[in-house]
Structure 1
Amino acid sequence: MKRKIGLLYGGKSAEHKVSMQTALAVTKALNYDKFEIHPIYITEEGEWIKGAQLNAPAENVKALEFTSNTLPSPEFSPTVFKAEEGPLDVIFPLLHGPNGEDGTVQGMLELLNLPYVGNGVLASSAGMDKIIMKNIFAQAGLAQVNYLSFIRSEWDRDQDNAYDQVENDLGYPCFVKPANLGSSVGISKCSSRTELVEAFKEAFQFDRKIIIEQGVTAREIEIGVLGNDDAECSVAGEIVPKKDFYDYKAKYEDGDTGLVIPAEITTEQYETLKELAIKAYKALDCSGLVRADFFLTSDGKFLINEVNTMPGFTPFSMFPLMWKHTGVEYPQLIERLVDLAIERHKEKQKIKYTF
């Protein structure tokens, strides 16, 4: 019997377009002899629209952009998670950024007691909020770059004090980022007070909290983690930006970045990297998948940058590419994640909720 998968994509987020590309790639990779594919689209305005079952890969992104004028269920209802023959077997949230990758959708799926791919509520929310994530990593003893954080109201009250703090505690260069966003949206590299002022304004457009990280001269090394309680790691990869840093345009538009897979690191460094990645995975109580991003300094020290609980997931994204070089092809990776989702859901059914 075919497994019924609900593909959940789009979303009310600045990363909506990234999610659409991910969904398109997944529809092309799934085995239609094994799975029934039920698309569930969330518009940029937050409308939930269930499309007709897919019997073949979507031709393009436009084919996945349903409108409430032509299809039913323009607002959220638990019925979007049902096929004609009954409930969907597993939900695959292909959502990036707030309102999807941050624990909100995961919490809803928990309340509905539905199996879903990827991280749970805690890991998703903590992994999305860079400030909370870094605080947890610090508690776990993972080395990181120095950082500061601000909320918009603090900055509004005394902007000069915020800039003074950054200059005194971190210096230049530094990176200013929205706390709750991915895909390098709203990130700026600063080398002066003038650039810092503009960077604060830019980042606060996308979040009420921002984080400022000390610049470091280092290589950018990433590794994929896959599994539930017994997680395993892929080969490592290296990001080689041709610009100052790996921004949104370099990631998704102009391809102005080199990816080296496997990364040229020693066996000892790779073993250390795996150990640190699993430590971070467990610190956030992750499940399913993450891409763990590190800096490798000139003296051979790894500093954890962040983990991404729903990393870029097209066949050309770093996470699937690292697993491909590890021996797991893209369609196999998707099937493995579905199996992990069902495994975790079965494990949760053992929990006693009455006393």
Structure 2
Amino acid sequence: MTKKVHVGLIYGGRSGEHEVSLQTAFAVAGEFDYSKYDVTPFYITKLGEWRRGATLAGKPGSVQELQLTATESGFPLAPLFGKLAKTDGGTGSEPQIDVVLPLLHGTFGEDGTIQGLLEIANIPYAGTGVLASAVGMDKIAMKKAFAQEGLPQCVFRYFNRSQWEKDPGYFIMECEISLGYPCFVKPANLGSSVGISKAKNRDELIAAVDYAFRFDRKVIIEEFVDAREIEVAVLGNEDPKASVPGEIAPSNEFYDYKAKYIDGKSTMHIPASLPSATAEAARDMAVRAFLAIDGSGLSRVDFFLRKSDGRLLINEINTMPGFTPFSMYPLMWKESGLSYRDLLDRLIDLAFKRYADKQSIDFGGSGI
């Protein structure tokens, strides 16, 4: 009998996207083939406390079941990090995790921090690595990488809290001249449209900047683009593939947190109704963006299709997109011929391949 692969699911976390992560974990845990995998949940509370649950026998009954109570005595992370100390935490019976699915959205999860921890632990994990996660999370660094790749994007400006407090008038003037109104104000490091505002005048701009600084020390401001919102899913490591494009029709003025997760009125069109040349351009640009940040595993790349001239502009890359069966990423792959369960198999396979590739690197310089 073939040994089962022991998967660790890490979810929850300290970011504002804690609840989104719970929904993703619930969906993933419900879709595994339990004849092939053992699955152990690792829940990170909003305060950053790690809790380990018992290995799952099947699909959890509810999201609440994944909000684990305080863990048992001993070292709760022994299955993940025990080999660093050459111990299993003292119990003598801890099963080791073979591969991790970090299902964390936003800060302290999608930004390279958990990826760095797993790199130190020398354990395979699905998704992008430290660099790609950090660049994909920081909208300013991301847009600079896209510019270097020659990918077209909307006009943007950025600054940090210290710069803004020192001379807000300068940045207001720069935004008004370069971007005009309306414009979008965003925290540089956050996802799921948390902290984003649409500013239609100077007073709203100032209020939006103050609001964005609640969530990050850096703010990015982008020009308004009257456009359709197109998305493409990317899957792979060195030779990534792109799905058919999808389109989001937001229920609100823009695709904010409420439109994504609360009112349920936004509509998805998969595949998007696009000329074949535009669809192929979106798929090509998505792969280029993925490679520009040194992506691996999975990402969703979002575009604006400007209504005035039909020009495709890259908006952002999301290295841990929503992953419920009703999220755009798995739905685009479903339309492209890959089921949700097969997608999970593929992500785990890519994690092992990336890990094996890294093991061949001489980090100690012993070959010199």
Give the alignment's TM-score, normalised by structure 2. 0.93
Following the alignment from structure 2 to structure 1, what is the Cα–Cα distance between the partners of residues 132 and 76?
A: 24
Following the alignment from structure 1 to structure 2, what is the Cα–Cα distance between the partners of residues 81 and 16?
A: 23
The ranges of structure 1 where at least 4 consecutive aligned residues each deviate by more than 6 angstroms after the TM superposition are none
Cα shift at 1:161: 2.5
Q: 1:156 is paired with a residue of what secondary structure?
A: helix
Q: 1:87 is paired with a residue of what secondary structure?
A: coil
Following the alignment from structure 1 to structure 2, what is the Cα–Cα distance between the partners of residues 222 and 281?
A: 13
2:101 counterpart (92, 108, 128): 92
CA RMSD in angstroms comes to 1.5
Cα shift at 1:77: 4.5
Cα shift at 1:79: 4.2
Query: In the alignment, what sits opposite 2:326?
Result: 316
1:49 counterpart (43, 48, 51): 51
Preserved contact between residue 140 and residue 158 of structure 2 (Cα < 8 Å):
yes
Preserved contact between residue 173 and residue 190 of structure 1 (Cα < 8 Å):
yes
Query: In the alignment, what sits opposite 1:14?
Result: 16
Preserved contact between residue 239 and residue 259 of structure 1 (Cα < 8 Å):
yes
Cα shift at 1:158: 2.2
Preserved contact between residue 8 and residue 91 of structure 1 (Cα < 8 Å):
yes
1:72–1:19 CA distance, 2 compared to 1 (3 A): farther
Q: 1:53-85: per-residue Cα shift (whole Å, max 9, x none)?
A: 1112111121111132x5346x87454456946
Unmatched runs of 5 consecutive residues or more in structure 1: none
- Structure 2 counterparts to residues 62-81 of structure 1, below 5 A: 62-68=64-70, 71-72=72-73, 77-81=77-81
Following the alignment from structure 1 to structure 2, what is the Cα–Cα distance between the partners of residues 77 and 346?
A: 23
Following the alignment from structure 1 to structure 2, what is the Cα–Cα distance between the partners of residues 76 and 267?
A: 51
Q: Which amino acid aligns with 2:63?
A: V
1:163–1:232 CA distance, 2 compared to 1 (3 A): same
Following the alignment from structure 2 to structure 1, what is the Cα–Cα distance between the partners of residues 339 and 228?
A: 27
| Percent identity of paired positions between Structure 1 and Structure 2 | 53
Following the alignment from structure 2 to structure 1, what is the Cα–Cα distance between the partners of residues 249 and 153?
A: 20
Following the alignment from structure 2 to structure 1, what is the Cα–Cα distance between the partners of residues 343 and 72?
A: 31
Following the alignment from structure 1 to structure 2, what is the Cα–Cα distance between the partners of residues 342 and 97?
A: 24
Following the alignment from structure 1 to structure 2, what is the Cα–Cα distance between the partners of residues 167 and 67?
A: 50
Following the alignment from structure 2 to structure 1, what is the Cα–Cα distance between the partners of residues 36 and 345?
A: 10
Cα shift at 1:87: 2.0
Cα shift at 1:300: 2.2
Following the alignment from structure 1 to structure 2, what is the Cα–Cα distance between the partners of residues 71 and 250?
A: 39
Preserved contact between residue 175 and residue 214 of structure 1 (Cα < 8 Å):
yes
Following the alignment from structure 1 to structure 2, what is the Cα–Cα distance between the partners of residues 72 and 213?
A: 49
Query: In the alignment, what sits opposite 2:85?
Result: none
Preserved contact between residue 197 and residue 208 of structure 2 (Cα < 8 Å):
yes
Q: 1:337 is paired with a residue of what secondary structure?
A: helix
- Structure 2 counterparts to residues 173-252 of structure 1, below 5 A: 173-252=182-261
Matched, 1:341 2:328: no
1:76–1:152 CA distance, 2 compared to 1 (3 A): farther
Cα shift at 1:39: 0.4
Preserved contact between residue 130 and residue 211 of structure 1 (Cα < 8 Å):
yes
Q: Which amino acid aligns with 1:194?
A: D
1:138 counterpart (118, 135, 147): 147
1:177–1:100 CA distance, 2 compared to 1 (3 A): same
Preserved contact between residue 235 and residue 323 of structure 1 (Cα < 8 Å):
yes
Q: 1:99-131: per-residue Cα shift (whole Å, max 9, x none)?
A: 011001101111111000000000000000000
Q: 1:147-197: per-residue Cα shift (whole Å, max 9, x none)?
A: 000101111122232222211111011100000000000000111112111
Cα shift at 1:297: 1.5
Q: 1:239-291: per-residue Cα shift (whole Å, max 9, x none)?
A: 11132100001100111211111000111111111111111111100000000
1:273 counterpart (276, 282, 288): 282
Give the alignment's TM-score, normalised by structure 1. 0.96
Preserved contact between residue 51 and residue 71 of structure 1 (Cα < 8 Å):
no
